[in-house]
Amino acid sequence: MKAAAFLYPWDVVGDPDAPARLADLGIRQVTLASAYHSTRALTPRHPRHRIVTAAHAAVLYPPGERWRGREPRPYAAGDWAPGDAYGEAARALRDAGLDVHSWVVLAHNSRMGAEHPATSVVNAYGDRYPWAPCIAQPATRAYLTALAAEAAVRPGEETRGTELESCGWYGLAHLHAHDKIAGVALGEAGQYLMSLCFCGSCRAGYAEQGLDPAELAGAVRRALEPVWRGGHEGGGWPAVEKLVGADLAAATRAWREETARTLQEAVVAAVRAAAPTGFQVLLHADPVPYHCGANAGVDPGHILSVADGVVVPCTGGAHLLEPFAARAGDGTGDGPVLAANLTVVSGMGGSPATLAADAARAAELGATELRLYHAGLASDADLAHVAKALSHAK
C-alpha cells in the first residue's frame, strides 16, 4: 500500500537533510500542514531547534487578498513558520521526489474563539468552548469554506491533494494546557450532551426540529446530573437516549448531522472549484456520525459520495475502517481511498515496532493506503522501525 507521513513545515525549513531522510524511509507522500491549530512540537533532528511552540492557530503561508476586510479571517503564523513556510517545505520535498498533499485543520481554533467569542460552541450550561467554532453559524461556515479552498490548494505545482481535519463538529473533548476535566468519567453519552451547542444558530436549528431550545437545554442539564454524581449509563447511542430520551436525542442528532453534512459538501465543493483536475480531497473521519473532534463524525456512504476518500484513526485497532469498506464498492477499479492512520511515535501511544502487522490487519479490513503520524515527531528508533516495515512491504 502507498504510505504517506504527516509533517509540519518547521520539520523541513532550515534542515536541508530532512527531505532525503524522509524519502529514505520508503514513503511516497508527505501530508504537510498548511493550516494548523496551536501546538508545542518536538523536532528531534533539526539542526537549529528542538521545541517549536506554535502560539495560535494559523495558516503556514501568507494569507491571500480574499480576506481583506473580512472577519473572521485566518491568522498568519509567527516565527514558528514565517513567510511561506509551507511553500518552502513543499518545494524541498518535491525536489526529493515526494508527492505533497496539504493538511488543513478547519473547525479547531482557540484564538478565533478568544477574539470572536460569539463564534464558539456554547454548552447547555452557557459555557463557551473557544477551541470549537460552531459550524452552524453562517459566518463561520463561510470562513471555513474559504479557508479550505485557499489552504488546500496552494499556488504552483507543489500540492497534489489535501486532507481536511476537523471538518465537522468539535465538542468538549480537547487537549488543553494543564487540563483538569477528567475528574468525572463522562462516557460517550456525557461527551455527546456536553458537546451540544446552544448558540443562537443552534437554538434556531433545534426550533426547526420542533424543539423548544430552553426546554432542551434544561433537559440536557437534568440528564447530566447522575453523570456528575459518578453514574454510568453504558455506551453508544442507547446511552444518550437513556439520559435525555429517544425523541430529544433524535432531534438533536438530526440537526447536527445535517449541519455537518452540508458543511462537508460545501467545503469539498469549494476545494474542487479552486483545484486543478485530478486534485485529491480526503477527510479525516469517524464512521459514527454523532462523534465530534479532529476525525469528524460522518455517514460513510454519504462522505464517500462527496470526497475521494477518508483518513481513519486506526491506532489501537482498525475496526473503524469496516463501515467505510462496506460502502466502498467491490474493490475493483478506481475506488475511494481508505487510508489507515497509524501512530508511529512510541511516546504518543504508537507502536512502530508492529507497523507491518498493523498495516496488514488494516488492509484486511479494507485499507488501501497508510498514513503515518508523525514523521517529524518520531525518534530515530521509531523511524528505523518504519523504514524496516516499509521495506518489507515492497
**What are the strands, taking DSSP E only, across 92-153?**
99-105, 120-122, 128-133
What's the rounded Cα separation, in Å, for the pair 351 and 228? 35
Query: Phi and psi at residue 288, in whole multiples of 5°?
Result: -100, 110
- Per-residue pLDDT in tens (0 to 9) along the chain, 394 residues: 899 999 999 999 999 999 999 999 999 999 999 999 999 999 999 999 999 999 999 999 999 999 999 999 999 999 999 999 999 999 999 999 999 999 999 999 999 999 999 999 999 999 999 999 999 999 999 999 999 999 999 987 789 999 999 999 999 988 777 777 778 888 999 999 999 999 999 999 999 999 999 999 999 999 999 999 988 777 899 999 999 999 999 999 999 999 999 999 999 999 999 999 999 999 999 999 999 999 999 999 999 999 999 999 999 999 999 999 999 975 555 799 999 999 999 999 999 999 999 999 999 999 999 999 999 999 999 999 999 999 987 6
174, 265 contact by CB (below 8 A): no
Query: Phi and psi at residue 138, in whole multiples of 5°?
Result: -55, -45
User: Residue 330 has what pLDDT?
Assistant: 55
CATH of 2-182+259-393, one of 3.40.50.180, 3.40.50.1950, 3.20.20.80, 3.30.420.40: 3.20.20.80
pTM exceeds 0.85: yes
Domain ranges of the chain: 2-182+259-393
What's the rounded Cα separation, in Å, for the pair 370 and 45? 24
Q: At what angle do helices 246-274 and 213-228 cross, to 10 degrees?
A: 110
What's the rounded Cα separation, in Å, for the pair 347 and 381? 11
User: Which residue is it, cell 464517500?
Assistant: 304
